[in-house]
């Protein structure tokens, strides 16, 4: 009897604790979003794994076995995902038992693991910051992909046509890439400011056009690499490549100077919004265009400036991708950075360090997805699903607040002001 | 003290004229410029260069042959039927038929008269409509002259109301002249211009876009911005292919596939409407995230299911229906009446949404909710219910658009196949001024550029235009469209604004 | 039909908007509901119309209690309402607006427009309205739009018609026409609830007057028993003293000179038609007129927010017409905008940030290393004390403040600069009496400190109390510039478009 009652009180305590935990805050919402995403992805695993499906067909005869098999399959996949994304526990134990440079390199792991995660995340951090600038001023630049390519393309032209030492060439590449991205975005900005064309459409369309022009660009004689039929560009000369930071530990660790640039960008954007005059004015325009205009801010100029800044960051991301990772341009240059960056900015709630963390999460999903594939035959695109669900839940926090009946969720009840086409 | 002045100024016919006068000027001058380009550019081609225009499409749509005495009989019949279309106004003893019957009489009459005459003129050759040779320079001079003269008249007479249709006609002529110029017969190349084929392709290509634009029109008329159309295309395409393939493309499965594709679109729209209505979320953000969700899930299913089980991703297509008689009209017949079923469904949906929005009680209420929801509420209309209904109904159309991408185009599902055309559909909705027929017509413009692109890639290597530029054309046109090519367009006033009940 | 409200109570959070309100409207009676802005009149009517649910209380029609959950119920019980902001769809035509919500469908689901047209014409004839059913609402003058609203209510067989501040947007002529219509309706047996804060109208048409103050019924009376002063003191709870305590103006040199100014509105129609006036140092020029006679456009043109079509605006000889907002603000023009929520403040930002919105580029608050956070915060602390902004602190979001405190933030910001000209549009709209007094004192203090002040207000009382000279705007033109001691009748005529002199209003 006493045992039962203590159990009861313990469960009551747990319940009370959980109730206290149900106060809505962003960390909890993030955790719950991740939980929702993992559950959803779990269903997809069940639906696409033949052994699990057959097992579920005979669910009523082998209930325990079915559940155990499902649980094991899914948790194994997620453990692989985690180890690929963050750290491999086995390798870590080896390193602790036997500290050496080689073992450290194994832990850092060029492909999956921490090094891979950060490498994947680096351009995303910069691109996400760019979109956050746009979002903060009330503009939806969803054509980041084209701006990444545009920045990369100008950067490539500079890198292969100018012969300078690295100390001069790299800054020149950055300027060229930023100009490339900024010009493309500014085009949409000018259209928005002077004709009222909605930037969601124009940025997406310019991005598509750039996407079509890229293969053609790569066939131009001064760009194309001789002898490559699949449209690869000439390589970036060594002076124009960003140095690898960890080459002292392992020769194939690809973490480049770009990561330092990315962290610096976080600080810069942080300063921009908290302290700079321009950042304050853009925020004003974003929150209330009417009041900003009354206070003497030229809203047309603000639109162009804001989109240009966003585009410059995306171009910068393209430069980091090109000079820090790929070292040449191919027809699918830039992956899906432009689109992923939207989700990154939304998950990071447009805060610089939030964007940083969200980009790391995306990088982790990338490298974790690859690790999971090599271990379990599950497609790495499962990680994309997890990303998408987390992004959805975090950007619409009121949904999570409602599903889990969180307390005091009112401040998440509505998101940023909506707008139409006008 | 009592010299009270007049009432406040309102829009009068006079100041409306001053507003539009500039339009006839600008449009007329554009026409003259187009004409000048045609004369100077295409007209300067050496007169020996000709272009072969193919009007034939396929044998199922060729003009049927008639023996001589049958030709006479048909002609006589046509001459007898035609007056029925006009009724007593041409000949008093004739009965006044209902409108539908008059339309049928007109069509039958014109067909019966034109058919034997065109046979006597020798339209057929080897059981097909024969090709025509036209001189490039003569075309340039002729079209250029027409364009310039019409332009001059528009400027001179201030034809405000006719200005924009005439400009569109002038652009069509220009494109035709350009095509004739591109597809010339030279000593080295022989590039016939399959005119009917290009036009057929334009209509065959556009249903998914039209359906997407109709979906947008539906939900935005009720005040909900649906940017998730791209995601609904992806989901609809995936579901339709999966369902049809799983049932091996049997007759009923295709229809079930359409239905389920529409349903998955409805699910997306429901989520959007829920976010917009209940949580007053930013509809653009929700839309973009729904797209990225659909993209991710479709990629995963594509990788994990379709690539493994090829039989779940078959190349299936909805049946093509050659409308009897009508499909045999030269050019127009195959283009309009020898199409995939989805084309007819799309046209039907456009008519349906137009009637629904502008003729019914439901439509009036839906539009009121999109303009000024608070006013609707004061007369007892449930704003949220109208918005849910319109958005979800629109979702069905968008999902159907996804099915049109696969089953309507004779292709299997491929990741990334919708190619951001969901956003183009939104631009089409804007271009079509938030009206169903507008959406239908505007989507044809994009269909035409796409069909042209396909033709250019067939010609590839033989013309000087890189394919990338033609591929990019629809997107460039979209930018022009949304940045006010068609003038300032007013969206529904409450579009995208969440409704807050007091 | 007899309508009775018993003990209606409605609160929003801690604010009690209606407290135990009871009133009776007899059949065929015009019942005026009189009260200040924010007294709770509109809340009460929204409760009656089903837009709000009361916390307690009863509604009775012909002595039978009924429940009204939404406007549909209200309409079904014969209650019609003409809202202060018309509930018409601007792009629909008259017919569509009238039938919306009660469309005849024959055959289902198609709207039977012909039946609707017949019905509308029948009702219009019955009440002697002249309205084209196919006219688009946004092309109609305001007075006609209001008639459409009334017609809409009548077409729903309204037996009780609620009119919420119906004369706020009307010219005196349109007001007269409306009063005629209301009398006709009354004769036909319709009961009318007429909500207003204008005393004269009340005395002109009411059968019964109920005065509401701070959400409570102060008393009920009839026009025969009271005069304006008594009603006014019932409304505000003390003897009204709208005469602002100020010394006579000592005008100096001309600071701002406007000549022959033409401005277009959003629809491209000329809204300001050749306005000319001068404002001198140390004087207040009040601009009076019915709303929508070009005041908004005039202020926007003066502050650079709207392009000037032609004409001159000069500040101490420098031309301001066509210059940017920033240039005009920096030249020493302070602007208290008409709609503080939309134009004056950014609700999501803190008080401190809102206090420097238009000064962020000045060296005082921003250098090359960014904004000077310390200076901004110090400024906020000073202003908060000086202007008595009631808030937990300077980091509170402005959106969380009350209307009066929000307006104080706007005022504090605009008055804290070196200013030569102060332009206040509707500076006290929707504020409580205390805040109004505070605002008026601040404005007069600035005048005495040497600013040239322009006040735009549609409240004649405020114009008379504050202005040293009053320019009356009608249909985009200055009818005349007159001293505030001019009689109300004279003002009424001017606001209705009559001119006292044939001069084009350049009388200094």
Q: Do residues C133 and C149 share a domain? A: yes
Q: Would you call A295 and C366 a contact, using CB atoms and an 8 Å cutoff?
A: no
> Is there a contact between A382 and A372 (Cβ–Cβ < 8 Å)?
yes
Helix (H, G, I), strand (E, B) or coil at B29: helix
Among C85, C89, C492, pick the best mutation site for testing chain B contact (most B Cβ within 10 A). C89
Among C90, C100, C274, C477, pick the best mutation site for testing chain B contact (most B Cβ within 10 A). C100
Instruction: Measure the CA–CA gap between B169 and B164, rounded to whole angstroms.
Output: 9
How many CB pairs below 8 A link B and C? 100
Give me the pLDDT at residue A281, please: 92
Q: Facing residues of C287 across strands?
A: C456, C471
Q: Do residues C486 and C384 share a domain? A: no
Q: What is the DSSP code (8-state) at residue A405?
A: T
Q: Would you call C90 and B493 a contact, using CB atoms and an 8 Å cutoff?
A: yes
Question: Length of chain A, please?
Answer: 422
C335 close contact with A: CB closer than 8 A: yes
Q: Facing residues of C421 across strands?
A: C333, C452
Q: Which of B3, B9, B368 sits opposite C100 (nearest CB)?
A: B368
ipTM for the predicted complex: 0.90
Q: Do residues C428 and C408 share a domain? A: no
**pLDDT digits over A21-68, tens only?**
777 778 888 899 999 999 999 999 998 888 888 888 888 888 888 999
Helix (H, G, I), strand (E, B) or coil at B124: strand
Closest chain B residue to A384, measured at CA: B296
Distance from CA of C348 to the nearest CA of A (A): 7
Helix (H, G, I), strand (E, B) or coil at C211: strand
Question: Chains meeting C at 3+ CB pairs closer than 8 A?
Answer: A, B
C300 CB neighbours in chain A (<8 A) are: none
C325 close contact with A: CB closer than 8 A: yes
Nearest to B489, CA basis, from B426, B432, B423: B432
Among C348, C360, C398, C413, pick the best mutation site for testing chain A contact (most A Cβ within 10 A). C360
Cα torsion angle, C196, C200, C201, C202, sign: positive
Q: Would you call A384 and B498 a contact, using CB atoms and an 8 Å cutoff?
A: no
Distance from CA of B117 to the nearest CA of A (A): 48
> Is there a contact between C333 and C421 (Cβ–Cβ < 8 Å)?
yes
Q: Would you call B377 and C110 a contact, using CB atoms and an 8 Å cutoff?
A: no
C363 close contact with A: CB closer than 8 A: no
Q: Would you call C87 and B5 a contact, using CB atoms and an 8 Å cutoff?
A: no
C400 CB neighbours in chain A (<8 A) are: none
Q: Would you call B360 and C111 a contact, using CB atoms and an 8 Å cutoff?
A: yes
Strand order in the sheet with C477-482: C333-336, C421-425, C452-456, C284-288, C469-474, C477-482
Question: Chains meeting A at 3+ CB pairs closer than 8 A?
Answer: B, C
Question: Chains meeting B at 3+ CB pairs closer than 8 A?
Answer: A, C
Domain boundary pick from C395, C417, C439: C417
A343 CB neighbours in chain B (<8 A) are: 289, 292
Give me the pLDDT at residue A418, please: 43
Q: Which of C342, C349, C358 sits opposite A296 (nearest CB)?
A: C358
Q: Which domain holds residue C223?
A: 3-236
**pLDDT digits over B242-286, tens only?**
999 999 888 899 999 999 999 999 999 999 999 999 888 889 889
Number of H helices, E strands in chain C: 16, 22
Q: Facing residues of C333 across strands?
A: C421
B372 CB neighbours in chain C (<8 A) are: 87-90
Among B16, B360, B369, B378, pick the best mutation site for testing chain C contact (most C Cβ within 10 A). B378
Q: Give CA separation, C487 vs C248, C482, C484, C491, in Å.
A: 19, 10, 8, 6
Give me the pLDDT at residue A382, please: 93
Cβ burial of A102 (10 Å; 0-12, 13-18, 19+) is: exposed
Give me the pLDDT at residue B473, please: 80
Q: Would you call B497 and A420 a contact, using CB atoms and an 8 Å cutoff?
A: yes
Q: Is the pLDDT of residue B11 over 60?
A: no
Q: Would you call A294 and C369 a contact, using CB atoms and an 8 Å cutoff?
A: no
Nearest to C6, CA basis, from C88, C70, C66: C66
Q: Would you call C370 and A298 a contact, using CB atoms and an 8 Å cutoff?
A: no
**φ/ψ of residue C476, rounded to 5:** 80, 5
* Each residue's pLDDT expressed in tens, for chain C with a length of 508 residues: 889 999 999 988 777 889 999 999 999 999 999 887 667 888 898 899 988 889 999 999 999 999 998 888 898 999 999 988 899 999 999 999 999 988 988 888 999 999 999 999 998 888 888 889 999 998 888 888 999 999 999 998 899 999 988 887 777 678 888 988 899 899 988 999 999 877 778 888 999 999 988 888 988 999 998 887 788 778 766 555 556 778 888 889 999 999 999 998 877 778 899 999 999 999 999 998 877 788 999 999 999 999 999 999 999 989 998 899 999 999 999 999 988 888 999 988 999 999 999 888 888 888 788 888 999 999 999 999 999 888 888 998 898 888 888 999 999 999 988 889 999 998 887 777 778 888 898 999 999 999 999 999 877 778 888 999 999 998 889 989 999 888 877 887 787 777 655 434 444 3
Domain boundary pick from C364, C391, C417: C417
**pLDDT digits over A59-114, tens only?**
888 888 899 999 999 999 999 999 888 888 888 888 889 888 888 888 887 677 78
B270 close contact with A: CB closer than 8 A: no
- Quickly tell me which residue has 């007056």 as its tokens: B83
Q: Do residues C473 and C396 share a domain? A: no
Helix (H, G, I), strand (E, B) or coil at A324: helix
Distance from CA of C310 to the nearest CA of A (A): 21
Q: Report residue C154 CA to chain centroid gap.
A: 26
Closest chain A residue to B283, measured at CA: A418
- Report residue B484's pLDDT band, with 50, 70 and 90 as the boundaries: low
Distance from CA of A13 to the nearest CA of B (A): 33
The set of residues, in sequence order, having a beta carbon less than 8 Å from that of C437 and lying 6+ positions away, is none
A196 close contact with C: CB closer than 8 A: no
Q: Do residues C446 and C397 share a domain? A: no
Domain boundary pick from C417, C452, C473: C417
CA atoms within 13 A on the CB side of A329: 28
Q: Do residues C14 and C145 share a domain? A: yes
Q: Would you call C303 and A294 a contact, using CB atoms and an 8 Å cutoff?
A: yes
H runs (alpha helix) in A295-403: 299-320, 337-347, 352-376, 381-395, 397-403
**pLDDT digits over A296-324, tens only?**
999 899 999 999 999 999 999 999 999 99
Cβ burial of C40 (10 Å; 0-12, 13-18, 19+) is: buried
Q: What is the pTM of this model?
A: 0.89
Distance from CA of B482 to the nearest CA of C (A): 21
Lowest mean pLDDT among A370-384, B194-208, C163-177: C163-177
A422 CB neighbours in chain B (<8 A) are: 491, 495
How many CB pairs below 8 A link A and C? 67
> Is there a contact between C444 and C466 (Cβ–Cβ < 8 Å)?
yes
Distance from CA of C192 to the nearest CA of A (A): 39
**How many C-beta neighbours within 10 Å does residue B118 have?**
15
CATH, residue C27? 3.40.50.300
Q: Would you call A291 and C329 a contact, using CB atoms and an 8 Å cutoff?
A: no
Tally of domains within chain C:
3
A296 close contact with C: CB closer than 8 A: yes
Distance from CA of B103 to the nearest CA of A (A): 40
Instruction: Measure the CA–CA gap between B229 and C226, rounded to whole angstroms.
Output: 65
Cβ burial of B169 (10 Å; 0-12, 13-18, 19+) is: middle
**How many C-beta neighbours within 10 Å does residue B284 have?**
22
B290 CB neighbours in chain A (<8 A) are: 392
Give me the pLDDT at residue A92, please: 87
Q: Do residues C405 and C311 share a domain? A: no
A288 CB neighbours in chain C (<8 A) are: 342, 345-348
- H-helix or E-strand spanning residue B36: helix B13-37
Instruction: At B24, list the tokens.
Output: 């006839």
Q: What is the 3-state secondary structure (H, E, C) of B437-455?
A: HHHHHHHHHHHHHHHHHHH
Q: What is the 3-state secondary structure (H, E, C) of B72-106?
A: HHHHHHHHHHHHHHHHHHCCCCCCCCCHHHHHHHH
Q: Facing residues of C161 across strands?
A: C80, C192
C332 close contact with A: CB closer than 8 A: no
A20 close contact with C: CB closer than 8 A: no
């Amino acid at each position: 009897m006493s045992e039962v009652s203590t159990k009861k009180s313990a469960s009551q305590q747990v319940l009370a604790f959980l109730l206290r935990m149900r106060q809505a805050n962003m960390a909890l919402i993030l955790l719950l979003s991740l939980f929702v995403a993992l559950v959803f992805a779990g269903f997809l695993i069940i639906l696409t794994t033949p052994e699990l499906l057959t097992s579920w067909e005979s669910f009523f005869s082998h209930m325990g076995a079915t559940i155990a098999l499902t649980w094991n399959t899914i948790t194994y996949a997620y453990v692989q995902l985690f180890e690929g994304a963050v750290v491999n526990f086995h390798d870590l134990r080896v390193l602790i038992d036997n500290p050496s440079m080689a073992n450290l390199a194994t832990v850092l792991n060029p492909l999956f693991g921490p090094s891979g995660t950060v490498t994947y995340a680096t351009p995303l951090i910069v691109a996400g910051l760019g979109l956050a600038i746009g979002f903060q001023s009330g503009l939806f630049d969803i054509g980041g992909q084209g701006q990444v390519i545009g920045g990369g393309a100008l950067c490539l032209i500079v890198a292969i046509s100018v012969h300078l030492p690295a100390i001069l060439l790299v800054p020149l590449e950055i300027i060229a890439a930023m100009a490339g991205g900024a010009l493309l975005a500014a085009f949409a900005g000018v259209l928005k400011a002077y004709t009222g064309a909605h930037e969601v459409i124009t940025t997406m369309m310019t991005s598509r056009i750039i996407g079509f022009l890229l293969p053609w660009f790569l066939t131009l004689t001064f760009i194309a690499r001789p002898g490559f039929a699949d449209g690869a560009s000439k390589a970036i000369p060594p002076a124009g490549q960003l140095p690898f930071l960890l080459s002292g530990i392992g020769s194939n660790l690809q973490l480049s100077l770009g990561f330092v640039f990315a962290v610096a960008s976080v600080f810069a954007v942080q300063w921009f919004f908290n302290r700079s005059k321009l950042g304050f004015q853009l925020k004003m325009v974003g929150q209330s265009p009417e009041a900003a205009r009354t206070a003497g801010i030229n809203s047309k100029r603000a639109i162009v400036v804001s989109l240009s800044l966003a585009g410059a960051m995306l171009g910068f991301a393209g430069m980091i991708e090109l000079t820090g990772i790929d070292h040449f341009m191919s027809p699918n240059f830039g992956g899906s950075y432009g689109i992923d960056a939207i989700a990154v900015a939304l998950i990071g709630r447009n805060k610089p360090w939030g964007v940083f963390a969200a980009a790391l999460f995306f990088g982790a999903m990338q490298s974790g997805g690859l690790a999971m594939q090599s271990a379990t035959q599950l497609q790495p695109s499962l990680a994309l699903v997890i990303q998408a669900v987390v992004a959805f839940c975090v950007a619409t926090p009121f949904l999570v607040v409602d599903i889990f009946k969180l307390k005091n969720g009112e401040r998440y009840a509505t998101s940023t002001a909506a707008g139409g086409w006008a | 003290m009592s010299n009270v002045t007049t009432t406040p100024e309102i829009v009068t016919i006079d100041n409306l004229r001053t507003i539009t006068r500039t339009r006839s000027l600008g449009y007329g001058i554009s026409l003259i410029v187009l004409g000048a380009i045609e004369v100077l550019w295409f007209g300067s081609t050496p007169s020996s260069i000709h272009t072969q225009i193919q009007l034939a499409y396929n044998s199922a749509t060729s003009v049927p042959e008639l023996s001589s005495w049958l030709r006479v009989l048909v002609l006589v019949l046509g001459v007898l039927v035609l007056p029925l279309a006009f009724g007593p106004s041409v000949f008093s003893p004739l009965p006044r038929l209902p409108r539908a019957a008059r339309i049928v009489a007109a069509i039958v009459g014109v067909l019966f008269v034109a058919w034997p005459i065109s046979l006597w003129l020798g339209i057929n050759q080897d059981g097909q409509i024969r090709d025509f040779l036209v001189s490039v320079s003569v075309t340039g001079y002729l079209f250029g002259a027409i364009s310039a003269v019409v332009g001059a008249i528009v400027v001179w007479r201030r034809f405000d109301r006719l200005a924009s249709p005439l400009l569109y006609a002038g652009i069509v002529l220009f494109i035709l002249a350009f095509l004739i110029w591109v597809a010339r017969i030279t000593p080295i190349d022989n590039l016939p211009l399959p005119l009917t084929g290009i036009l057929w392709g334009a209509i065959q290509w556009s249903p998914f876009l039209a359906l997407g634009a109709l979906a947008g029109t539906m939900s935005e008329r009720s005040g909900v911005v649906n940017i998730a159309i791209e995601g609904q295309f992806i989901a609809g395409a995936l579901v339709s292919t999966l369902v049809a393939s799983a049932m091996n493309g049997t007759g009923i499965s295709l229809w079930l596939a359409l239905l389920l594709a529409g349903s998955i679109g409805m699910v997306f729209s429901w989520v959007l409407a829920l976010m917009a209505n209940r949580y007053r979320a930013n509809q653009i953000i929700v839309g973009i995230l729904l797209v990225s969700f659909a993209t991710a899930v479709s990629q995963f299913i594509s990788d994990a299911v379709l690539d493994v089980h090829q039989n779940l991703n078959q190349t299936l297509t909805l049946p093509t229906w050659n409308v009897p008689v009508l499909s045999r009209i030269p050019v127009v017949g195959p283009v309009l009446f020898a199409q995939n079923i989805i084309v007819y469904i799309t046209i039907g949906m456009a008519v349906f949404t137009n009637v629904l929005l502008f003729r019914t009680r439901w439509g009036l209420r839906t539009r009121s909710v999109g303009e000024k929801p608070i006013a609707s509420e004061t007369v007892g209309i449930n704003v949220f219910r109208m918005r849910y209904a319109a958005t979800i109904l629109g979702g069905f159309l968008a999902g159907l658009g996804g099915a049109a991408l696969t089953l309507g185009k004779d292709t299997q599902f491929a990741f990334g196949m919708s190619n951001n055309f969901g956003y183009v559909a939104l631009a089409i909705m804007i271009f079509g001024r938030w009206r169903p027929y507008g959406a239908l017509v505007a989507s044809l413009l994009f269909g035409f550029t796409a069909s042209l692109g396909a033709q250019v890639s067939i010609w590839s290597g033989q013309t000087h235009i890189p394919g990338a530029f033609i591929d990019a054309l629809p997107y460039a046109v979209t930018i022009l469209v949304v940045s006010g090519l068609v003038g300032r367009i007013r969206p529904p006033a409450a579009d995208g604004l969440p409704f807050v009940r007091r | 039909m007899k309508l009775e409200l018993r003990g209606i109570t409605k609160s929003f959070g801690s604010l009690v908007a209606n407290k135990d309100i009871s009133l009776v409207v007899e059949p065929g009676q015009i019942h005026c509901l009189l009260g200040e802005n924010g007294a709770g009149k509109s809340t009460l009517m929204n409760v009656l119309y089903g837009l709000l649910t009361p916390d307690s209380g009863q509604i009775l029609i012909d002595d039978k209690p009924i429940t009204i959950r939404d406007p549909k119920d209200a309409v079904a019980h014969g209650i019609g309402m003409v809202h202060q902001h018309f509930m018409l769809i601007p792009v629909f035509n008259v017919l569509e607006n009238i039938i919306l919500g009660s469309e005849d469908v024959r055959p289902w689901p198609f709207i039977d427009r012909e039946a609707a047209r017949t019905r509308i014409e029948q009702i219009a004839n019955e009440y002697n309205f002249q309205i084209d059913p196919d006219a688009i609402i946004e092309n109609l003058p305001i007075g006609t739009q209001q008639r459409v609203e009334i017609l809409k209510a009548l077409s729903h067989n309204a037996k009780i018609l609620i009119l919420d501040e119906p004369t706020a947007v009307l010219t005196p002529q349109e007001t007269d026409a409306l009063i005629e219509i209301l009398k006709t309706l009354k004769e036909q047996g319709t009961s009318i609830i007429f909500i207003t804060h204008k005393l004269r109208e009340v005395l002109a048409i009411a059968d019964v007057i109920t005065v509401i103050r701070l959400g409570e019924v102060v008393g009920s009376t009839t026009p025969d028993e009271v005069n304006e002063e008594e009603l006014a003191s019932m409304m505000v709870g003390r003897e009204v003293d709208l005469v602002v305590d100020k010394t006579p103006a000592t005008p100096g040199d001309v600071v701002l000179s406007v000549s022959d100014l033409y401005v277009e509105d959003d629809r491209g129609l000329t809204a300001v038609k050749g306005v000319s006036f001068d404002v001198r140092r140390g004087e207040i020029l009040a601009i009076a007129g019915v709303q929508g006679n070009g005041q908004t456009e005039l202020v926007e043109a003066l502050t650079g927010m709207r392009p000037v079509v032609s004409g001159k605006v000069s500040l101490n000889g420098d031309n301001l017409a066509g210059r940017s907002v920033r240039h005009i603000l920096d030249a020493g023009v302070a602007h208290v905008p008409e709609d503080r929520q939309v134009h004056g403040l950014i609700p999501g930002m803190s008080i401190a940030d809102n206090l420097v919105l238009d000064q962020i580029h000045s060296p005082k608050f921003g250098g090359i290393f960014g904004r000077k956070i310390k200076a901004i915060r110090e400024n906020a602390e000073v202003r908060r004390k000086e202007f008595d902004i009631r808030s937990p602190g300077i980091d509170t979001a402005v959106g969380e403040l009350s209307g009066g405190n929000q307006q104080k933030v706007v005022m504090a910001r605009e008055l804290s600069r070196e200013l030569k000209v102060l332009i206040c549009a509707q500076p006290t709209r929707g504020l409580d009496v205390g805040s109004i007094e505070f605002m008026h004192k601040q404005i007069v203090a600035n005048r005495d400190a040497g600013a040239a002040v322009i006040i735009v207000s549609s409240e004649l009382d405020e114009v008379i109390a504050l202005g040293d000279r009053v320019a009356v705007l009608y249909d985009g033109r200055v009818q005349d510039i007159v001293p505030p001691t001019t009689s109300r009748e004279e003002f009424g005529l001017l606001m209705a478009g009559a001119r006292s002199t044939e001069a084009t209003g350049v009388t200094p």
